[in-house]
Structure 1
Amino acid sequence: MTTVDHQLDRRRHILLELGFATRRVGDELHGSATITPQMHVPGTTHLRTSVLAIWLDTMGGLLASLVIHPRVPMTLELDVNLFRPAPGAGEVRAVGRTVKAGRSVFVAEIEFTVDDVPIGFGATSFMAAPNPDVQLPRKLSIDMPPSGTRLAVPLAERARCERREPGVTVLPRTEDGLNAAGTVNGGLIALAAEEAALSLGPSNGLSFLGLRYLQAARVGPVVATATAQHGLGRVELRDSGNDNRITTLATTRTFDR
């Protein structure tokens, strides 16, 4: 599970360097960002699917906070589905809507376009963090301006996510990559899963990325191990510093190159 952080250090956090901004429009949440080469799938000119997963998680968590407040939302599952490899330039726009606001589970859906052309959609579910002492700020806004700092290097390099061998990547726990609970941010776990899947062979990125968050990655490094057949992959992510406990299961499907 991942904990949505509404108090990220705006001077440094890795995810803020993606330049994503949100604003509330009626019952919807609208998001936008400009694609840069640092967000590309390595060796291609296509936007990473994990970047969309990060923004999906952010928007869903902000919408969930309106319902769960003052409790902190924790991500249970998310998935991103693309119609075609995402463009490598242009402005991403996202529209998020509440699908279900139940007593125990919140679900949101987000649609993505680039320069007004639909590229895909996703959904995510949340629950309230079990610890009632972890709470959101009393005054809560889901309008989030873009950070002034942008990625200067590719996202995986910025996150220190390394490919160790085909199908295996390692993501360290770093202070600039944590969530509100002090554990590894779920968006970066999505990046590690994507990197593990992409390291198995050439592709134009992922047409599908789905994650089930089972428990927090508290110690790190997170080790992602991927296997695949005919483009369909399974990725297992474990907290190697915490008795190698499994934290996340991911499913991927690649676009052929």
Structure 2
Amino acid sequence: MTNAMVEERISKNVAQLVKVQRARRKRPDPWSVEEACTFLENAQKWRDYLYAAYVLILVLGLRKGEVLGLTWSDVDLDTGELHIRHQLQRVRRRLIHTDTAKTEASEAVLPLPDICLTALRLRRKEQEAAKVAARDLWTESDLVFTTRYGTPVEPRNFTREFNRRCDRAGVRQIRVHDTRHTCASLLAALDVHPRIAMQILRHSEIAVTMEVYTHVPSSETRRALRKLGKALGGSKQKDGKKKGKRKQEERPGEDGQQEP
């Protein structure tokens, strides 16, 4: 209608006179610091093969596709850095491993906190053990997160495993994407400068960080944050040194069999 008005076919664009109420943005209800701590502690306790993925999602705010598409060439355990270059998605019944093609912020180099480094080192050991066990059935790839045969983890199976872990940890189920809001809550509650949080969360505009991803419930305290760091940081120091054998939990993957 605007074009018609420019071409003088009509004298006025009546659509511009209509006032439409802006849709209210639905704000998610992310996990509290205590819930995030409980979830990760449970995954670590049962040696969930996706434990490292959960850590990256909650601590660094990675998206599901970015986590599943992560390759070992993107991870530098010596310098403690992680590059976001790939993503894994199912498009039209095809599982596609492609480069991220959003913004420069989406391809950031993120620092790896100690808990992330520990989780990734543990994941590499588990993957090497799975490769030996699978022998000729192993499918070679550079992916960090794979099934026990080396094949990619289906995004839908990842969601199912995430929901199962929520139930076993006794925390309410939220969308995998909403864990990014929990990540921002942790950063905000730790008084991390918004510009730094913006870099970690890879937002292109500071307004997105400030208006959407900063949810800090009043019940969250610094004591809870110290508890989170102590529990997870302490558990990483004891990796492989705990006495006794822990009962293994069945973790069906995309092939319906137990994961490593």
Decide: shared fold, TM above 0.5: no
Structure with the higher fraction of residues in helix conformation? 2
TM-score normalized with structure 2 length:
0.25
TM-score normalized with structure 1 length:
0.25
Structure with the higher fraction of residues in strand conformation? 1
Please identify the structure whose Cα radius of gyration is greater: 2
